[in-house]
Amino acid sequence: VAITPDGLRAITGSSDKTCIVWDLQNGEVSQTLKGHTEFVKSVAICPDGKRAISGSSDNTCIVWDLNSGEALHTLTGHTLWVNAVDICPDGKRAISGSLDRTCIIWDLNNGEVSQTLKGHTESVNAVAICPDGKRAITGSKDTICIVWDLTTGKALQTLKGHSYSVNAVTITPDCKMAISSCVNKTC
């Protein structure tokens, strides 16, 4: 689930292969977005609230126009399920994490791969972009988190401390700290 910055709409992803855009003022469906052929595993909304990205177990991401409901780009590059997506604060790039152990940085304007990030040895389950748009953190079934430089695509830090799969990550607004959660009930 993701909510537009103005708090008026939300988008949800589902095992029925669709995303639904909800009007949060009346609780009704605004649009049903169809384009994936398998489960939708993750969604994120651009900071301007006009576009969203969804990641699916069909190995693709789709960039959506939230006003028209149109699929702007189908992003192909992963070889296995896309588990997680996030969008840069400028709305120009997104990151996806996959069961194929990679993350891809996407150019949202043309739908092209900007960089492929390799460093995890198991499924990438979680991604988060720093509010300054310069770095991202990824969490994996391999029990580690990696902090990435989004300009160079290089791993800046490998964070160890979990003993099981990392399932969620987020970054503080000042970009100084991150938190990760693990299947063994630890953060």
What is the tens place of the pLDDT at every residue in 122-163?
999 999 999 999 999 999 999 999 999 999 999 999 999 999
Span 44-70, pLDDT tens digits: 999 999 999 999 999 999 999 999 999
pLDDT of residue 131: 95
Kindly write down the DSSP assignment for every residue of 22-61, as one continuous string. Answer: EETTTTEEEEEEE--SS-EEEEEE-TTSSEEEEEETTSEE
* Residue 87 confidence (pLDDT): 97
Q: Which of 40, 137, 29, 140 is nearest to 81 (CA)?
A: 40
**pLDDT at residue 70, rounded to an integer:** 96
What does the pLDDT look like over 154-168, one tens digit per residue? 999 999 999 999 999
Please tell me the pTM assigned to this model: 0.95
Residue 124 has what pLDDT?
A: 98
